[in-house]
A and B are shown apart, each in its own frame.
Chain A
Amino acid sequence: DAKTTQPNSMESNEEEPVHLPCNHSTISGTDYIHWYRQLPSQGPEYVIHGLTSNVNNRMASLAIAEDRKSSTLILHRATLRDAAVYYCILRDRVYAGNQFYFGTGTSLTVIP
């Protein structure tokens, strides 16, 4: 399984943008990039996913490098509710046996 590397922790001030990086240098052509987040004492929740092009939804934006070896999750305006662990996950959509493998993620602290 292709691996991802994320910083252990990051801090952001409330109402400022947050850029959460993820490196995945061994990504294959059929790997999708997924982001989930886990709020304290809750199960993970889906944030966004993409393959090659940048993606936007109501929660966040996903910027994917041209060579696809890295990506960045962008929270446009951090709120206290965005304090969570953010997981960057690669998943091969072609191989049916390939599941989501969660690493340790990035713990985001939002400072009021």
Chain B
Amino acid sequence: NAGVTQTPKFQVLKTGQSMTLQCAQDMNHNSMYWYRQDPGMGLRLIYYSASEGTTDKGEVPNGYNVSRLNKREFSLRLESAAPSQTSVYFCASSEDFRNEKLFFGSGTQLSVL
């Protein structure tokens, strides 16, 4: 069972470069989420998509954009990367927005130099 798949696993960017983090789930879940985790800290919600066709800001949305491409895929874009965006990024999904179980991917380690 693949579950939630994130690509790439590692990425190094220079300040000002752009990139898109990809996330796909194969559990037919309606809701998907992007979190970031800085060293020694808990996860913070960046954006979420409660259902296909909708996206909403989370706790720390500045500097990011998202696209819910279809029910399976939810991408996170950094238009102009900054060193403050160096972090581990986790994608997650749940059956629906009120469901208690989040399923997480294994993360993308992003370094912005």
Q: Which residues on A are within 8 Å of B, measured CB to CB?
A: 32, 34, 36, 41-46, 49, 87, 91, 93, 96-97, 99-105
* B69 CB-CB contact with A under 8 Å: no
Residues of chain B within 8 A of A103, CB atoms compared? 42
Q: Cα distance A5–B58 when bound, in Å? A: 22
Nearest CB on B from A11, distance (A): 19
* B14 CB-CB contact with A under 8 Å: no
Q: Is the beta-carbon distance between A34 and B41 smaller than 8 angstroms?
A: no
Partner of B100, one of A32, A101, A102: A32
B33 (CB) vs chain A CBs: closest residue: A99
Interface of A is mostly: loop
Q: Cα distance A100–B101 when bound, in Å? A: 10
Nearest CB on A from B39, distance (A): 11
Q: Which residues on B are within 8 Å of A, measured CB to CB?
A: 4, 33, 35, 40-45, 48, 50, 56, 58-59, 90, 92, 97-98, 100-107
Residues of chain A within 8 A of B103, CB atoms compared? 46
Q: Is the beta-carbon distance between B101 and A102 smaller than 8 angstroms?
A: no
Given A99-B58, A103-B42, A104-B40: A44 and B102 interface contact (C-beta under 8 Å): yes
Nearest CB on B from A23, distance (A): 16
Residues of chain B within 8 A of A41, CB atoms compared? 106-107
Partner of A102, one of B42, B48, B106: B42
Residues of chain B within 8 A of A34, CB atoms compared? 100
Partner of B42, one of A49, A87, A91: A87
Given A93-B98, A99-B48: A43 and B104 interface contact (C-beta under 8 Å): yes
Residues of chain A within 8 A of B98, CB atoms compared? 93, 96
Partner of B45, one of A93, A101, A104, A105: A101
